[in-house]
Amino acid sequence: MVKHMWRNLGVAVVAMGSALTSGAGAATAETDMTSFINTTCTYSQMKAALNAIAPDRGAEFAAAPMAQTWMHAFLDSPVEQRRQLIQQAPQVMQYDDLVVASANTCKNFPA
């Protein structure tokens, strides 16, 4: 099932250029994504943190090229654009705790 969620994230990446469904991804209580949005970690550091925190999900991420592409684009973008990328791919919120935990520990891994 998680594999399908990573695939869904990949579909969201492809759909970024198209119109968004109104209200998609809206939630009443959302995780504070500040540490993820503001991270200065590299892709390699984020991937290593993800693998350390949740090896099974890290393996699924490694098998999802579109999710990897999205993460590269996210980390290569300035903070203002990162907020937009998350808004345009609300599926990211399915992984909110995981990406925040990865962002909080990624500096422990070599760049």
pLDDT, tens digit (0-9, with 9 covering 90-100), for 12-30: 444 333 322 233 344 435 7
Predicted pLDDT of residue 8: 56
Burial environment of residue 71 by CB neighbours within 10 A (0 to 12, 13 to 18, 19 or more): buried
> Has residue 47 got a pLDDT over 90?
yes
Say how far apart CA 40 and CA 19 lie, in whole Å: 30
Question: How much is the average pLDDT of 85-94?
Answer: 89
Give the DSSP per-residue string, 19-56.
PPPTTTT--SS----HHHHT----HHHHHHHHHHH-HH
Say how far apart CA 23 and CA 96 lie, in whole Å: 18
φ/ψ region of 23 (left if φ > 0, alpha if ψ in -120 to 50, else beta) reads left
- Of residues 107 and 15, the one with the higher pLDDT is 107
Predicted pLDDT of residue 21: 27
Question: How much is the average pLDDT of 82-96?
Answer: 90
Say how far apart CA 24 and CA 60 lie, in whole Å: 24
Question: How much is the average pLDDT of 46-59?
Answer: 97
